Structure 1
Amino acid sequence: MVASALVASFAMALYFRMYRVFYWGWWIDEFDPYIRYYLALYTLQHGISWWFKGAYFPDFWYPWGVDWARVLIPGVSLYGLSVYFLLKPFGFDLWHAVVVAPALYNALAVFTMYYFVSRFSDKKAAVLAALLTAIAPTYLQRGFGGWFDDEALTLFLAPLGLGLLIEALKKRPVLYGVLGTVAIGFIAWTWGAQFYIWNLVGLSALVLVAYAVLRAAQGMSPGFSTRNLAISYAIFYFLFAAFESAVLRYGPHMLKSIYNFIPTLGLLAVVGYYFLEARVGLARSYRFLKRFAWVIAAAVVLVAASIPILAYFHVISGKFLATILPFGRSAIVQSVAEHTYSTFQLELGSYGPVIPFIIASIPSLASPYALPLLAYLVTGSYTAVTEVRLLILVAPAAVAAAAVGMAQLLKIRRFGWAVALMAIASLALFTALGWGTATSPQQIVVSATAGPSVPSADWLDALMWMATRLPPNASVAEWWDYGYWVTILGHRPSLADNSTINSTQIGTIGLAFMSPVETGINIFSKDLKTHYIAAFMPWSALCAYPGYSQFGLWSSQIVQLGNATGWFALPFCTLVPEIPAGGDFLKSYWMAQIANQIYGTDVTKFGLPASYAQHLANPFGYFFTGTSQTGPYFVVGNQFLIVPLNLTALLYTMLFNMERVYWMWTTYSPYGYPTWIFAGVPAANILTGNETYVPWDVYYAYAKIPPQNQVILGSLCTVSSAGFCYPIAGLNATGFATTSLPPNLRLVYVSKPYGWVVVYQIT
């Protein structure tokens, strides 16, 4: 029965994880997995040795290049190649193999979770853990086909390694200590979050020693072999150090870092306690420890206090600092969506149906073999709250605890039926949440849009155009989100990518985009040595959705503006930026923030006034509006629409000029002239021939649209500091153009089918 349940769970897990591939196509998902595929291909062609010697890749971080062996680690490439060699006899190439790889290993996690839970609980709980693993949303989020990155393998290896180390406490500590360390050691070659797993094992050793001391105080044995703990943990400490030292990204110096602090304390504690117990006996060991209890307590407090202090002074830095001290985040870390704080809604969507069972499991986790799970659950829950991505990191602990809690409650006869119904309902909800994740399309299929995502071929079309139409070796500037796509699929050098290893380069790109047009062009062409710039912004034409007609956002008729003015509003169709969301207009907030963090008043070196730093520091008050600011904004029904305040910034000139829109206007041409929502309504004077954009309030006054349905707006162009403000709308303006392109910036490409990606050439 157990074997049948495990096989069924594995089959369901594999089906869930491969479903989006069958439905949406054989695409590698998101951004980071593309570099993993690229390096797996490079490893297949050049052998594994380059990972330990280094290699130069000039097409990334142009014009400087990068050595990926010092930035990334080989584990993902190796597990992708393992699946490639397994499936090659069946006709699979590397691309299709790495699409399958994460789904296969993540589905196999049902077996490792069964093994892990069975080390400290009964078979019923272990089978439930396997079933929950098959359908858990957090396992699926980073374990489906195409997510060729680190988490899928870690979710397979972490419970396996921890289970083997728990087994080492019971018997054969050398064998199981080595096997457990190899499993966890390979995580060190796979995911940067290995620092957490590394420290979790060290913390578990400290917790077990503390447990043994408490048991000794009660005159009882610890309930496990302290000899086995000392042997297995010593093996872990030194063998894991070998894994850590072997790769160029870490090297032996990592053993001297703050990340080895808790593991080293764990080694001293387990060896010291075993030595005391072996030499002086249990009772005398307790009396000795009792005499120095205040020293031990002070040491514990010191260790606990030192971690946030070291983080505060940036001894612990980057993403790890953001995890320990959430308020100590750089702008680059904050700009990444997966590094944002977890919300209650996200936590409910990840674990909500099983949270009652997780809580119910806690009393059962006080046994020595379950203490590592309890340490994992407590510390992992904290990291999951501080960073969205780490909701995945705590998945094995949450699923294991939920299974144990469910099994324990089912043993209570009085509440057996009620618990069974609750468990069935929780599993049904968990399955529904997991299925929602399983059926969502890959990131490239929706062209990097979000909220809600819309299937689109725009980025695929753009990347094909770059690969076939740009001159060979022509580098492309873009915001760092799309760097891997540009280099790997577009086959052209990119200036920055998702590794974010060069914050100065990212800040320079951000400054170029958010500077006045000529300054931005000079930064790209002279400082960054590129002549092609790509920008991405989804937009929707509301005329295509008749439901918006009640708000007067489009019209198929001419409207007379007054009886004797000669002005007529022309048929128009309103364009709204960032519907769906996810483009460079929204990200321009972070472009400005990062540029300011990197340069501050040093923007003067690029010919900008020192005061420009203030505009970068407060982009809501200068470049575009947000929900918490006053200024021009629109609310359509209950939907808030952001608009730019200033069109002189290079990025906004690229995004909001009408030349770009007219390239794609054939789809919406029957509806009339295109107009950005912040530009008003196009109008013409039959007496003078002048053309202009009429402000919305003027149009509403003459069109006699019911006031309760009007779009709410503030004043357009409220900022006029330092001559940077561009008057967006008004009867004094002429010509149907929100902004015009300078002669040295030429639009060379607009993507199909929606025109969301544009490429400009600096001539």
Structure 2
Amino acid sequence: WELNEFDPFFNYRATQYIIDNGINAYFEWNDNLSWYPHGRDVSQTSQVILHLTAATTYWMFGGGMQLYDFTVLFPVVFGSLSCIVIFALVRVIAGTSAGLFSALLFSVSLPMILRGTIGWFKSEPLGIFLGILALYFLLSGINSKNHKIAIIKLISAGIVLPLSLSAWGGSQFFIIPIGIFFFTLPFFRTDHKFIVWAIPLFTVMVFLISLNFERLSLGFLFGLGGVSLLVPTIFLISCIFIQRKSSENKKTRNGLFFLISIMIIGTVILIINANSEFLELPSYRYLNAINPFLTTSIPLVDSVAEHASTTISQSFYFHSILMIFAGLGIWLIIKNNKTKESSFIKNDMLSFTLIIGLIGIYVSSAFVRLEVFASLSLIILSSIGLSLLIKEIVKNTEYKKMKNLIIKSSFLAGIIILLIIPITFPTSGNWVSAAKAPPTILNGGSSYPVSTDDWLETMEWIKNNTPKDAVVASWWDYGYWISTLGERATIADNSTLSTAIIHQLAKMLMSSPEKGWKVLMDMQADYVVVFVTGQRLSVDNGDQPLYVLQGGGDESKKQWFIRIAEEPLEDYLYNDGISGTDRFWNDTLLGQMFPFTPLTYVNLQTQQQSTTYQPGFTPIYIKDIKYPSDGNDPLQLVHTSPSFNAEKGQPIIGVFVYKVNKEFVPIN
């Protein structure tokens, strides 16, 4: 088995650093293999709690196994623990039956599985576990009749929530429903003497613990995250004070007037802040969740597949039947509330359920990565809906009446069948097939469902055949693999904060070979890695192998390189948005680094051929190494991965390492 995707490799390396050097050294570590030449302050820019938790649990439960293997299993363990805490959370809201349903639905939720498969040693599994645990402690605390137990649980919630924020930045979205929930408490709770100190206790603990993490600290307190907790807490205290000073029949009215005035003032402040930014704004990926229209304004953000806006078809694919049960849950909750069946769910828990349901669905509409929040929301609503529905079906059952029993049994069987559907269908996209996908390091994240050693072999080559102080340039996707497996310094990776560096890399790739070489020299790069995917056709052109290039390598990302470099697309791509023009192939460093050249264009439907591009035609390529290892060019090809010599019909997961020719003399 292997770690999956990109970030887990850095997280593994950071955990290994703690194991080898201790916790104190970790907080002083400036990683020289990242963000060359400046290095990376790891504790200030990383998911500290993820690394500390992994190291601590390894010390406790590692049992002599390799740390790499331990981190591969880590997300599965915490994903399983999340099933337990989601049960506890929903049990507090709506009882044991709903809690059991939530654990079942969580265990087969496709978004949760995709973000917690074996090898997914990223932020989400631990962050989601801690976030749900914090919600459990908070709701359980404010529902506790024993004030001593309530204090313990509220303090625990105030400790665990910042841990979740440190483990995963996406946990910021747990704060949004909590803040809105606080706005509703003065209207749904009558025990004002309790909540007037309980909620501030939780908020103060969150702030105090946050100050201990460099990545959160004052930036969180005075940013939108901290304000989203502080303002509702102040409102709650003020509203309760206003209601106490108001007559009995004017309490609610005065409280609502105060809430409306706060909303108006808050809206004005946000409008002013949009220009002045006196409140620290989160990064664009968080702002995208609030305003999805921002997604199309920044090419660098748009180029990340996880930041793509969620489509309706994707929502149905991820959640399928849960969307129906969630809607049913909302209807039954409101129906029961109207019929005064308050023994099932209290008003404040009803409020929280609807808030987290709607907020989760809304923020997940911004980009695909946040589908875990939609899943969490739908699981809570669906589990409550199912428990209510089954309660309605089985209550007052007259078992002597066989007809009634058959009808109700059939109805229950129908529900079970509906629950099985998302587990088994579609056959190529259910939770089983999702879990069976090969780790990214084995197919480069391409669309080819194969496992090869191209990347592993290339990283081993870099580790053994380049100077230890060598600097390797590549697109940021591959930075973590190079620094962790290749053990060489990289210029950019998946956490690079400087957009200028990414822009410079894109500019280097899309510049003329001489200008690109100069950029590489300015960045002090010694090697360049380029990744090409495709497939060798089952027929050859005489003794020349023929290829199609597509599948998720740099050949499929070049349109984003062009946008990020702020170059006109039409100069480098034909109108299909994929096929490179002559200028791309002849006048850009990236085109020259691809060891292929278009031979002809073919319409795969009609089998027509053309020597020039025609709409609807697919380019067919032949091998063409432009920068051989012994040439006097800007770059020299020093390594090709094994699948470059693929057999007929086999995919290419091609990783190519070029050495920067420091002795090259530009003509211009």
Tell me the TM-score range normalised by the shorter chain: 0.7 to 0.9
Aligned to 1:679: 599
Give CA deviations for 1:625-660 in whole Å, capped at 9, x if unaligned.
Answer: 35369xx68xxxxxxxx9985332111111134xxx
Contact 2:243–2:255, Cα closer than 8 Å, also in 1: no
Aligned to 2:438: 441
Rounded Cα–Cα distance in structure 2 between residues aligned with 1:394 and 1:80: 27
The one-letter amino acid paired with 2:181 is S
Q: Is 1:132 aligned with 2:105?
A: yes
Rounded Cα–Cα distance in structure 1 between residues aligned with 2:384 and 2:191: 24
Q: Tell me the secondary structure at the aligned position of residue 349 of structure 2.
A: coil
Structure 1 portions without partners, runs of 5+: 1-24, 213-221, 544-553, 557-569, 597-615, 634-641, 658-675, 681-694, 698-706, 719-727, 730-734
Q: Is 1:60 aligned with 2:34?
A: yes
Instruction: Go from structure 1 to structure 2 and tell me whether the alpha carbon gap of 1:356 and 1:44 turns closer, same or farther (over 3 Å shift).
Output: same
Contact 2:131–2:171, Cα closer than 8 Å, also in 1: no
Give CA deviations for 1:400-446 in whole Å, capped at 9, x if unaligned.
Answer: 11111112222333874464234222321232322122222211122
Counterpart mapping for 1:99-498 below 5 A: 99-171=72-144, 172=147, 173-209=150-186, 212=187, 222-223=188-189, 225-278=191-244, 282-283=248-249, 285-286=251-252, 288-289=254-255, 293=257, 296-303=259-266, 307=270, 310=273, 315-329=281-295, 330-363=298-331, 364=333, 367-413=347-393, 416-417=408-409, 419-432=411-424, 433-450=430-447, 452-498=448-494
1:279 positional shift = 5.5
Rounded Cα–Cα distance in structure 1 between residues aligned with 2:36 and 2:283: 26
Give CA deviations for 1:679-723 in whole Å, capped at 9, x if unaligned.
Answer: 23xxxxxxxxxxxxxx769xxxxxxxxx963146684499xxxxx
2:592 alignment partner, one of 645, 648, 653: 653
Rounded Cα–Cα distance in structure 2 between residues aligned with 1:740 and 1:36: 35
Rounded Cα–Cα distance in structure 1 between residues aligned with 2:576 and 2:194: 59
Give CA deviations for 1:520-574 in whole Å, capped at 9, x if unaligned.
Answer: 111102x10112111001121112xxxxxxxxxx357xxxxxxxxxxxxx45432
1:736 positional shift = 8.8
Rounded Cα–Cα distance in structure 2 between residues aligned with 1:391 and 1:178: 29
1:761 alignment partner, one of 647, 652, 659: 659
Contact 2:71–2:121, Cα closer than 8 Å, also in 1: yes
1:318 positional shift = 2.0
Rounded Cα–Cα distance in structure 1 between residues aligned with 2:270 and 2:431: 36
Contact 2:310–2:365, Cα closer than 8 Å, also in 1: yes
Instruction: Go from structure 1 to structure 2 and tell me whether the alpha carbon gap of 1:263 and 1:505 turns closer, same or farther (over 3 Å shift).
Output: same
Contact 2:158–2:209, Cα closer than 8 Å, also in 1: no
Contact 1:447–1:460, Cα closer than 8 Å, also in 2: no
1:287 positional shift = 5.6
Q: Tell me the secondary structure at the aligned position of residue 622 of structure 1.
A: helix
Residue range with higher mean Cα deviation, 472-481 or 228-237: 228-237
Give CA deviations for 1:49-75 in whole Å, capped at 9, x if unaligned.
Answer: 356x54311111112211112211311
Give CA deviations for 1:718-752 in whole Å, capped at 9, x if unaligned.
Answer: 9xxxxxxxxx99xxxxx995856662321100001
Contact 2:128–2:164, Cα closer than 8 Å, also in 1: no
Counterpart mapping for 1:522-537 below 5 A: 522-525=518-521, 527-537=522-532
Rounded Cα–Cα distance in structure 2 between residues aligned with 1:328 and 1:408: 39
Structure 2 portions without partners, runs of 5+: 338-346, 394-403, 425-429, 646-653, 662-668
Aligned to 2:606: 709
Q: Tell me the secondary structure at the aligned position of residue 679 of structure 1.
A: strand
Instruction: Go from structure 1 to structure 2 and tell me whether the alpha carbon gap of 1:714 and 1:107 turns closer, same or farther (over 3 Å shift).
Output: farther
Aligned to 1:541: 536
Give CA deviations for 1:600-637 in whole Å, capped at 9, x if unaligned.
Answer: xxxxxxxxxxxxxxxx1x22x122335369xx68xxxx
Residue range with higher mean Cα deviation, 749-758 or 352-361: 749-758
Q: TM-score, normalised by structure 1?
A: 0.74
Instruction: Go from structure 1 to structure 2 and tell me whether the alpha carbon gap of 1:522 and 1:712 turns closer, same or farther (over 3 Å shift).
Output: same
RMSD over aligned CA atoms reads 2.9
Aligned to 1:746: 636
Contact 1:513–1:591, Cα closer than 8 Å, also in 2: yes
The one-letter amino acid paired with 1:381 is I
Aligned to 1:623: 572
Rounded Cα–Cα distance in structure 2 between residues aligned with 1:696 and 1:435: 37
Give CA deviations for 1:305-350 in whole Å, capped at 9, x if unaligned.
Answer: 7557745877444211222222324221111110110122221221
Q: Tell me the secondary structure at the aligned position of residue 248 of structure 1.
A: coil
Rounded Cα–Cα distance in structure 1 between residues aligned with 2:349 and 2:602: 69
Give CA deviations for 1:346-389 in whole Å, capped at 9, x if unaligned.
Answer: 21221112111000111316631132222111111111111100
Q: Is 1:590 aligned with 2:565?
A: no
2:14 alignment partner, one of 39, 48, 62: 39
Instruction: Go from structure 1 to structure 2 and tell me whether the alpha carbon gap of 1:443 and 1:752 turns closer, same or farther (over 3 Å shift).
Output: same
Aligned to 1:514: 510
1:155 positional shift = 2.3
Instruction: Go from structure 1 to structure 2 and tell me whether the alpha carbon gap of 1:105 and 1:625 turns closer, same or farther (over 3 Å shift).
Output: same
Q: Following superposition, which runs of at least 4 residues in structure 1 exceed 6 angstroms of deviation?
A: none
Aligned to 1:566: none
Aligned to 1:577: 549
Rounded Cα–Cα distance in structure 2 between residues aligned with 1:712 and 1:303: 63
The one-letter amino acid paired with 1:743 is N
Residue range with higher mean Cα deviation, 345-354 or 416-425: 416-425
Instruction: Go from structure 1 to structure 2 and tell me whether the alpha carbon gap of 1:185 and 1:737 turns closer, same or farther (over 3 Å shift).
Output: closer
Rounded Cα–Cα distance in structure 2 between residues aligned with 1:279 and 1:168: 27
1:147 positional shift = 1.0
The one-letter amino acid paired with 2:364 is A
Contact 1:507–1:595, Cα closer than 8 Å, also in 2: yes
Higher Cα radius of gyration: 1
Aligned to 1:670: none
The one-letter amino acid paired with 1:575 is Y
Q: Tell me the secondary structure at the aligned position of residue 106 of structure 2.
A: helix
Rounded Cα–Cα distance in structure 2 between residues aligned with 1:160 and 1:107: 13
Residue range with higher mean Cα deviation, 708-717 or 475-484: 708-717
